[in-house]
Structure 1
């Protein structure tokens, strides 16, 4: 658990640099997430500084629905932030695997699209109530051509370094038998905390425990 002393310490450090550069600002919820993720004030502080630098250099603020790389993947139905939330009030990022082909993508463009989706979902958080996200991987009509280990690695890196404690739950729905080998590889990359947030949903009844099935797109 985050101690009040750690939070006060981190808050004071951030205030010093935010007074000089307002772009360095992080709110209380963000500070608490970094402290939970990095377990230590010094590590949390350094992680925040690295995230702020990354956001500026990566041009996160410039990634909009009209950005070329974002628009391309929205039109290709590679993913979407849904209008509705899950049962816990989390914003939902929905990713239909069938629309992805690992041999026909630019990893840089796709990673920017992932960042865009994370940003849009985070903006929808009611942080006073819940400040994490639901990510759904729909594996209906999945084939090995859809399997992109590098994209998964990039997503794991983004969530761990620049969006710590933002993942509330990851639902994997319509998973075929062929995916079991892929999951063995992926699970080895996850720490225990993250892997515990991954849930395989095997029926509509199970899905109803997490969200209303009708919120899932039928046009993707």
Structure 2
């Protein structure tokens, strides 16, 4: 919970906002409160910065609750990871522990178990990878977040070679590539969802619902923003259906952009490929075998 309030002095006696109380806020997290500068752009998000800076009682309790299973299954939780699960659960330790437990069990299942991208068998996502419909850019957003591009027109659920499980494994693989590019202190990634050229045949509600479930429950608090580019007229009738699958906090992170100029408000065009109106000379390779992530 974030509450803006005039803060005249920190707990250690430093004057903070005698002239600009609007720039400061009290952030309550569990039984603690931290004074932060809401105008700062150095962190990934205000709450993630707080979560990483403060080892709260709730984080310690969460680690104690899930530690044995996580160690047994070989799944590592950093302090930032604990913070993500706690923020998702609004610092309800019981809910966070259940979601984290479910994550560990899901992460180590044969179907989607990929503890790191080094261990996934790329042959199991070969058809999806050859399409080039989703990939991680080699550069980062201004906030230091990995950028994932997704071309909706290349998602063809009626194609003879389409396999729903492979499609989901590939999305997981791609998001794991994004996580692998995160620098210390960064916990989120940005999506650019290119809707140009898509038709109703590309709208796959079953896949969308499954993906949203994975995003919310398996990658909690990983989404920085999702930019929806070049949405066709019919998609605006689809959006209310999709939006209902999201929680309100996540829905607010989806932003419609009608042009590359709109995109540039969030990500400079020289960090985006020409396929979405950017000026970067990066082109995703669909050659096989794939080029390792650098």
1:136 partnered with 2:192: yes
Q: Which runs of 4+ in 1 moved over 6 A?
A: none
What is the CA–CA distance in structure 2 between the aligned matches of 1:99 and 1:203, rounded to whole Å? 20
1:68 partnered with 2:123: yes
> Where in structure 2 are there 5+ consecutive unaligned residues?
1-27, 31-55, 276-282, 285-294
1:167 partnered with 2:223: yes
Q: 1:65-91 deviations in whole A, cap 9, x for unaligned?
A: 752232321211121011111221110
Match of 1:56 among 101, 108, 112: 108
Query: Is the contact made by 1:101 and 1:146 (CA closer than 8 Å) also made in structure 2?
Result: yes
Match of 2:145 among 90, 95, 103: 90
1:194 partnered with 2:245: no
Alignment-derived partner of residue 61 in structure 2: 9
Alignment-derived partner of residue 126 in structure 1: 183
Match of 1:115 among 149, 172, 175: 172
1:151 partnered with 2:207: yes
Query: Is the contact made by 2:69 and 2:104 (CA closer than 8 Å) also made in structure 1?
Result: no
What is the CA–CA distance in structure 2 between the aligned matches of 1:204 and 1:97, rounded to whole Å? 17
Query: Is the contact made by 1:92 and 1:121 (CA closer than 8 Å) also made in structure 2?
Result: yes
Match of 1:77 among 118, 122, 132: 132
Task: Give the superposed CA RMSD.
Answer: 2.0
What is the CA–CA distance in structure 2 between the aligned matches of 1:190 and 1:91, rounded to whole Å? 22
Alignment-derived partner of residue 156 in structure 2: 101
Q: CA deviation at 1:22?
A: 6.8
Query: Is the contact made by 1:137 and 1:173 (CA closer than 8 Å) also made in structure 2?
Result: yes
Q: 1:97-133 deviations in whole A, cap 9, x for unaligned?
A: 12121212211110000110111111111241x2111
Bigger proportion of residues as helix: 1
SS of 1:103 mapped into structure 2: coil
Q: CA deviation at 1:14?
A: 3.9
What is the CA–CA distance in structure 2 between the aligned matches of 1:2 and 1:54, rounded to whole Å? 28
1:32 partnered with 2:93: no
- State the number of aligned residues: 218
User: Normalising to structure 2: TM-score of the pair?
Assistant: 0.69
1:44 partnered with 2:96: yes
Q: 1:147-201 deviations in whole A, cap 9, x for unaligned?
A: 1111211110001111111111011011111211111210111111010000001
Which stretch shows the higher mean deviation, 59-68 or 206-215?
Answer: 59-68
SS of 2:239 mapped into structure 1: helix
Match of 2:266 among 196, 210, 214: 210
Which stretch shows the higher mean deviation, 77-86 or 107-116?
Answer: 77-86
> Where in structure 1 are there 5+ consecutive unaligned residues?
none
Q: 1:22 and 1:144, CA in 2 relative to 1: closer, same or farther beyond 3 A?
A: closer
